């Protein structure tokens, strides 16, 4: 605009637009490249803290990157030399897990675990639609830090109505489950200041993630899901079914004592806890 009034002859008029056009197309290409790069970069960046959909985001991220999670550290109960291993993948906020934990599991503990028939392992598998379940797993992991995982586990499942889903199955009873969990921590005799410090810092989040990642490795897609010496049972199962599966697994092991428990035909580790690589980092 503020040039030296160049003569408007045909030559300069023709030359300028073509150089303009070259720069214009260059800019458009640059915008496309930057646009694609920006979307890929934003896709890879970590989710913002405590957004409404953070549970969903955490689940999606874990589902995508489960191979990168460290080895699982499940919570265990019973005799580790028992012939059968029961593994449970559960979500503290899932109502079916709650009814299993409060109705069936006491019998399982009394008649299967305490009698040395099986060793029990619990893995977190927090589902994306349950907004407080990550916090519950966090609370349980922090209780485990003080050696009281199972006490917290029982409190969480028995108290689902106080911090979990509303009867509509979609919304949560509270946006602030921490106050409820602090009450549980006190009730089971935890050092509440240590518990709170652990809970707030989410220092056990890696453990929760690693446990959930193990579920993805084994194709768990609902809760609860059980593995009894490696055999998958998706969904809640009544005591009788579990007892029979434990007895069958024990009998199978007895008849083939040299074989590794629950060797899968493909030899994959997908459903065989015994064949897990030690530390797939």
Partner 1 sequence: MRRMLIAALALIGVFVALYLTLYKMGVIGHLACGLGGCERVNTSKWAIFAGAPVAAWGVAFYTTTFVVALIGTSPSWIDRREIAYVLAGMSFVGVAFTAWLTYLELFVIEAICKYCVTSAVIVTAIFIVSIADVAMGNRLQSGE
Among 13, 15, 53, 251, binds partner 1 (CB under 8 A): 53
**Smallest distance, partner 1 to C-beta of residue 21, A:** 7
Asked if residue 22 binds partner 1 (CB under 8 A), the reply is no
Residue whose structure tokens are 């045909």:
10
What are the C-alpha distances in Å from 186 to residues 33, 57, 96, 138?
55, 31, 26, 16
Q: In the set 22, 35, 235, 238, which binds partner 1 (CB under 8 A)? A: 35
Nearest CA-CA partner of 77 in 186, 153, 184: 153
Q: Is 205 among the residues that bind partner 1 (CB under 8 A)?
A: no
> Residue 176 interacts with partner 1 (CB under 8 A)?
no
Binding residue (CB under 8 A) for partner 1 from 11, 43, 254, 281: 43
d(CA 133, CA 174): 12
Q: How many residues bind partner 1, per CB under 8 A?
A: 26
| 3-state SS assignment for residue 195 | helix
Output 35 or 189, the one with its CB closest to partner 1. 35
Residue whose C-alpha is closest to residue 148's, from 173, 99, 181: 181
Interface segment toward partner 1; rule CB under 8 A; list 28-36, 74-82, 130-138, 206-214: 28-36
Nearer to partner 1, 65 or 200 (CB): 65
Taking the complex as a whole, the smallest distance from the CB of residue 205 to partner 1 amounts, in Å, to: 16
Who contacts 107 (Cβ-Cβ below 8 Å, separation ≥6)?
Answer: 239
Close Cβ partners of 219 (under 8 Å, ≥ 6 residues apart):
232, 270, 271
CB of 44 to partner 1, least distance (A): 9
Q: Does 206 bind partner 1 (CB under 8 A)?
A: no
Out of 12, 13, 22, 36, the residue judged to bind partner 1 by CB under 8 A: 36
In the complex, the smallest distance separating the C-beta of residue 20 from partner 1, rounded to whole angstroms, is: 7
How many angstroms separate the CA atoms of 164 and 78, rounded? 28
How far apart CA 65 and CA 69 sit, in angstroms, is 7
C-beta of 276: minimal distance to partner 1 in Å? 27
Per rule CB under 8 A, is residue 51 in the interface with partner 1? yes
Distance CA(23)–CA(274), nearest Å, equals 63
Taking CA atoms, 261 is separated from 46, 82, 116, 240, in Å, by: 39, 12, 17, 22
**In this chain, which of 15, 64, 102, 235 binds partner 1, going by CB under 8 A?**
64
Q: How far is CA 224 from the centre of its chain?
A: 13
The owner of tokens 């458009």 is: 28
Q: Does 8 bind partner 1 (CB under 8 A)?
A: no
* Binding status of residue 31 toward partner 1 by CB under 8 A: yes
Cβ contact 122:73 at 8 Å: no
Footprint of partner 1 (CB under 8 A): 17, 20-21, 24, 27-28, 31-32, 35-36, 38-39, 42-43, 45, 47-48, 51-54, 56-57, 60-61, 64
């Amino acid at each position: 605009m503020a040039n030296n009034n160049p003569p408007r002859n045909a030559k300069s008029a023709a030359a300028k637009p073509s150089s303009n056009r070259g720069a214009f197309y260059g800019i458009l290409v640059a915008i496309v490249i930057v646009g694609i790069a920006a979307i890929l970069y934003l896709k890879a960046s970590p989710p913002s803290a405590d957004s409404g959909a953070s549970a969903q985001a955490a689940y999606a991220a874990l589902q995508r990157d489960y191979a990168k999670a460290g080895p699982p550290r499940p919570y265990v109960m019973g005799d580790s030399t028992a012939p059968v291993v029961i593994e449970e993948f559960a979500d503290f906020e899932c109502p079916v897990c709650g009814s299993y934990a409060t109705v069936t599991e006491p019998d399982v503990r009394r008649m299967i675990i305490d009698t040395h028939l099986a060793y029990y392992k619990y893995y977190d598998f927090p589902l994306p639609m349950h907004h407080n379940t990550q916090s519950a797993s966090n609370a349980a992991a922090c209780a485990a830090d003080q050696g009281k995982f199972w006490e917290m586990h029982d409190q969480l499942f028995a108290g689902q109505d106080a911090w979990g889903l509303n009867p509509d199955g979609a919304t949560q009873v509270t946006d602030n489950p921490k106050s409820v969990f602090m009450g549980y921590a006190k009730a089971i005799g935890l050092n509440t200041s240590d518990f709170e410090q652990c809970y707030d810092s989410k220092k056990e989040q890696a453990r929760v993630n690693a446990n959930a990642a193990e579920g993805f490795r084994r194709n768990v897609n609902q809760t609860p899901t059980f593995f009894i010496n490696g055999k998958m049972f998706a969904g809640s199962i009544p005591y009788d079914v579990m007892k029979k599966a434990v007895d069958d697994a024990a009998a199978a092991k007895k008849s083939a004592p040299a074989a590794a428990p629950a060797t899968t035909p493909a030899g994959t580790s997908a459903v065989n806890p015994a064949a897990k690589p030690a530390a797939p980092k």
